[in-house]
């Protein structure tokens, strides 16, 4: 077996244990448990079976319920991931019982101590989830079940996931009322855990950056083929809204005599992903609400964003298009996380185009037809979406100047001057690539 695959599986097992320990800490805080384990916790309160044993049984039930939502082709393509749910379920259930037993001494006596235990549990759970996201090797049954439903019903994964977790919480309350004549196991801690774990995962994820090389991260489908082989020179332009990044790309294309790819991506991505062009046009630079993705993020310790949502499909499709274009010709690519997708390519000039607030506002009003009253809020909204999209898929800061070869401020320099600066870098890189090939 490939050594990188062994490392990924080992780290995935570690992440499962961390997730289970975090859930146990949250549960032992006595303020309720996480939404995804609410049913199993309530069932363990009035039956002889433990929380871990109920977790195994419930996840096995999810595996059975997935089958009616899957076609033969789905099962053939996803066979490895589907079968991996079985050992994941067994280990996770065992880890939960071990963690609950190991923390049997934890009985916070006052509300402040309970709250502290809850928050520590949320942090531990987030550490485990972030590690699992980084490893990216398997899926838990709960998450896979949601993915199967969203695929079959053609609904957004995020909304199906939200409905799934809310259903589990409501079912927990119903079971508690029927069998214990009151609501137990679901309290304010359930809501707190649902709201804070996601943002903590988002904060922690970049700290796992150093694991990438150790687990062979650059060898997956979205990494460029023949990463160290010199290819064509590609200029990637990441841009703030209102900075004129597209106009900069157009002028640079004219000066250098190479094609610009920006709006053309909508048509190409539609062909690659099978999505409707209108959907891509509306959703390309946004992802579902950050807080929606954070709500109920613990999801059995499974990666929230690992399922193939429409956003994931679109990102993979556009990443492949970026790689194909870079391998075919010298060109200019605006947005699409192209600087990250081509991170191993030595023939890339990475540019970040920004502007001061007033210059961006004026450009939005005069060039984009946005009303003066809405310009400022629209700039904030679009930049927030671009930042979240980039950081969600790359784990890197979108506006980090260290990621780029050149940052141009179009509020302090003309587009023509910016073109000249990029052109010099492009020609220098072109000579370097030519020399390497020779």
Distances in whole angstroms, Cα of residue 368 to Cα of each of 140, 224, 265, 353, 382: 45, 35, 20, 17, 13
* DSSP letter string, 115-131: HHHHHHHHHHHHHHHHH
Q: What is the pTM of this model?
A: 0.58
More confident residue, 296 or 197: 197
Query: Other C-beta atoms within 10 Å of 31: how many?
Result: 22
Report the pLDDT averaged over residues 42-51: 95
- Asked whether the predicted pLDDT for residue 10 surpasses 70, the reply is yes
- Asked whether the predicted pLDDT for residue 101 surpasses 90, the reply is yes
- 48-77 pLDDT tens trace: 999 999 999 999 999 999 999 888 877 776
More confident residue, 97 or 130: 97
Report the pLDDT averaged over residues 357-372: 89
Of 206-210, 251-255, 323-327, 398-402, which gets the smallest average pLDDT?
206-210
**How much is the pLDDT for 21?**
96
Helix or strand holding residue 201 (H, E): helix 188-204
- 282-291 pLDDT tens trace: 555 544 433 3
Which residue, 309, 298, 38, is CA-closest to 158?
A: 309
Structure-token match 């539609």, residue found: 270
| Residues in CB range of 77: below 8 A, 6 or more apart | none
Residue 93: pLDDT band (50, 70, 90) is very high
Give the CA angle between residues 85, 25, 107 to the nearest 5°: 140
Ramachandran category for residue 70: left, alpha or beta (phi over 0 → left; psi -120 to 50 → alpha): beta
Query: Other C-beta atoms within 10 Å of 159: how many?
Result: 13
Which residue, 10, 36, 12, is CA-closest to 23?
A: 36
With pLDDT > 90 as the criterion, what percentage of the chain qualifies? 35
Q: Taking a C-beta distance cutoff of 8 angstroms, is the pair 165, 35 a contact?
A: yes
Extract the tokens encoding 367. Answer: 């060039």
Instruction: Return d(Cα 266, Cα 334) in angstroms, integer.
Output: 12
Long-range contact pairs involving 152-160 (C-beta distance under 8 Å, separation at least 24):
152/69, 152/70, 156/288, 156/309, 156/310, 157/307, 157/308, 157/309, 157/310, 158/288, 158/289, 158/292, 158/293, 158/309, 159/288, 159/292
Count of residues for the chain?
438
Residue 213: pLDDT band (50, 70, 90) is confident
More confident residue, 280 or 300: 280
Extract the tokens encoding 26. Answer: 């949250």
Q: Which DSSP state fits 224?
A: P
């Amino acid at each position: 077996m490939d050594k990188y695959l062994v490392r990924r599986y080992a780290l995935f097992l570690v992440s499962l244990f961390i997730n289970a320990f975090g859930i146990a800490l949250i549960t032992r805080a006595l303020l309720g448990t996480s939404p995804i384990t609410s049913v199993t916790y309530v069932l363990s309160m009035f039956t002889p079976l433990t929380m871990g044993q109920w977790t195994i049984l419930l996840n096995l039930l999810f595996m059975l319920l997935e089958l009616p939502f899957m076609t033969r082709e789905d099962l053939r393509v996803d066979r490895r991931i589907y079968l991996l749910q079985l050992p994941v379920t067994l280990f996770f259930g065992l880890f939960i019982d071990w963690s609950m037993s190991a923390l049997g001494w934890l009985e916070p006596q006052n509300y402040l101590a309970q709250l502290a235990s809850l928050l520590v549990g949320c942090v531990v759970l987030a550490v485990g989830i972030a590690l699992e996201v980084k490893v990216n090797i398997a899926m838990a049954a709960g998450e896979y079940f949601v993915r199967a439903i969203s695929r079959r019903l053609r609904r957004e994964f995020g909304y199906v996931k939200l409905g799934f977790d809310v259903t589990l919480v409501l079912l927990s309350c119903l079971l508690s009322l029927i069998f214990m004549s009151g609501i137990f196991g679901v309290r304010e801690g359930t809501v707190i855990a649902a709201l804070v774990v996601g943002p903590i995962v988002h904060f922690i994820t970049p700290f796992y950056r150093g694991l990438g090389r150790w687990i062979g991260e650059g060898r997956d489908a979205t990494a460029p083929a023949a990463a160290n082989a010199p290819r064509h020179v590609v200029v990637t332009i990441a841009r703030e809204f209102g900075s004129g990044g597209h106009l900069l790309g157009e002028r640079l294309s004219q000066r250098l005599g190479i094609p610009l790819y920006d709006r053309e991506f909508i048509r190409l991505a539609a062909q690659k992903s099978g999505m409707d062009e209108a959907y891509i046009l509306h959703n390309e630079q946004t992802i579902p609400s950050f807080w929606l993705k954070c709500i109920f993020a613990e999801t059995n310790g499974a990666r929230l964003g690992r399922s193939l949502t429409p956003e994931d499909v679109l990102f993979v499709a556009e990443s492949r298009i970026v790689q194909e274009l870079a391998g075919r010709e010298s060109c200019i690519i605006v947005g699409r996380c192209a600087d990250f997708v081509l991170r191993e390519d030595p023939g890339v000039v990475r540019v970040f185009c920004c502007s001061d607030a007033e210059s961006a506002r004026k450009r939005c009003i005069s060039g984009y037809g946005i009303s003066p009253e809405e310009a400022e809020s629209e700039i904030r909204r679009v930049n927030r979406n671009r930042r979240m999209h980039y950081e969600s898929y790359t784990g890197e800061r979108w506006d980090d100047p260290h990621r780029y070869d050149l940052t141009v401020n179009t509020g302090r320099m003309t587009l023509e001057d910016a073109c000249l600066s990029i052109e010099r870098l492009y020609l220098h890189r072109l000579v370097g690539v030519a020399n390497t090939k020779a």
